[in-house]
Amino acid sequence: MRATGLHADVVVANSRVWQTSCTLVRAGEEAFCIDSPVYPDELELLPAVASQAGFTVVGLLATHVDWDHVLGRYAFPEASLGVGEPSAARLTGDPGDAARKLRAFDEEHYVERPGPLTLPPPQALPVPGVCELGPRTLHLHPADGHTADGMAIWIDWAGVLVCGDYLSPVEIPMISGGGSVGAYLATLDRLEPLVEGATWVVPGHGAPVDPVQAAAVLREDRAYLEALRDRGADAPLPLARRTDAQKVTHAENVGRVGAA
Ligand SMILES: [Zn+2]
């Protein structure tokens, strides 16, 4: 796991698998942990990363509730969980989904955990809206399209945008069940001005990027999605993201868009 300080109040850790991002953000005496790394040793290390930075984590936030983003309770078992209203609806609709998918991943990769995943009843946050952290305010923006839920978190005093599974330098746009190309494109339109005003952008997967890089990824992702919508399987993948793994994601996208 790699930890990067972006600001006195913001530290990002990236998991060894999928480079899944976890953002620790502090204001005053309190800190939140946004999303999570994946492996047990990384989750075990996270409280030490937080305390070395002088952060006291009191709450968890999740940009969306795909299983690899909601593991923070393993690191901070006492912390409350805040998610956007659409994410809360997803959790209510299928409360066992994250635990089931985590178990499948762990079985496939022979990963052992201290226990099964337990999620506390989440606090549903209005999106768009705000969320108080100590003396500061986090701004929540809708970010659906990858999934049916999703929120981007704008940390204004640090100039950091935590956008969830968008603007990734390492993976192409992924249209999961519940997501759609139209909603994804609308989210990119909403993120664009936030990216322009940011100092750092934290994608759900991949190391933090500066706004110039993030804007380049945004343009590539928009072009890819428009081509996916118009040309299906023939849509060219962004040049730097043409790995076999991304071709698999592309084939899945074609299937989902075709079925929609
Ligand atoms: Zn993800």
pLDDT tier, 259 (very low <50, low <70, confident <90, very high otherwise) = low
Q: Is 80 exposed, middle or buried (0-12, 13-18, 19+ CB in 10 A)?
A: middle
Per-residue pLDDT, 258: 81
Task: State whether residue 3 is helix, strand or coil.
Answer: strand
pTM of the entire predicted model? 0.96
Q: Which long-range contacts (CB under 8 A, 24 or more apart) does 190-198 make?
A: 190/141, 190/142, 190/143, 190/152, 191/141, 191/143, 191/152, 191/161, 191/163, 191/166, 191/167, 191/218, 192/218, 194/141, 194/152, 194/154, 194/161, 194/163, 195/161, 195/167, 197/159, 198/159, 198/160, 198/161
Q: How far is the CA of 21 from the centre of ligand 1 (A)?
A: 9
Per-residue pLDDT, 177: 82
Q: How far is the CA of 20 from the centre of ligand 1 (A)?
A: 7
Q: Which residue do the tokens 């796991």 mark?
A: 1
pLDDT tier, 260 (very low <50, low <70, confident <90, very high otherwise) = low
pLDDT tier, 2 (very low <50, low <70, confident <90, very high otherwise) = confident
Q: How far is the CA of 186 from the centre of ligand 1 (A)?
A: 19
Q: How far is the CA of 58 from the centre of ligand 1 (A)?
A: 23
Measure the CA–CA gap between 234 and 87, rounded to whole angstroms. Answer: 33
Cis? peptide before 114, omega within 30° of 0: no
pLDDT tier, 246 (very low <50, low <70, confident <90, very high otherwise) = very high
Lay out the sheet containing 136-142: strands in order across.
129-133, 136-142, 151-155, 160-164, 200-203
User: pLDDT, tens digit, for every residue of 86-144?
Assistant: 999 999 999 999 999 999 999 999 999 999 999 989 999 999 999 999 999 999 999 99
Q: How far is the CA of 258 from the centre of ligand 1 (A)?
A: 22
Q: CA angle, 215 as apex, 242 and 176 as ends, to 5°?
A: 55
User: pLDDT, tens digit, for every residue of 180-197?
Assistant: 999 999 999 999 999 999
Q: How far is the CA of 64 from the centre of ligand 1 (A)?
A: 8
Q: How far is the CA of 66 from the centre of ligand 1 (A)?
A: 6
Is the pLDDT at 227 greater than 80, yes or no? yes
Kindly give the pairing relationship between strand 30-34 and strand 21-27: antiparallel
Ion ligand 1: residues, Cβ under 5 Å: 66, 165, 204
Per-residue pLDDT, 105: 98
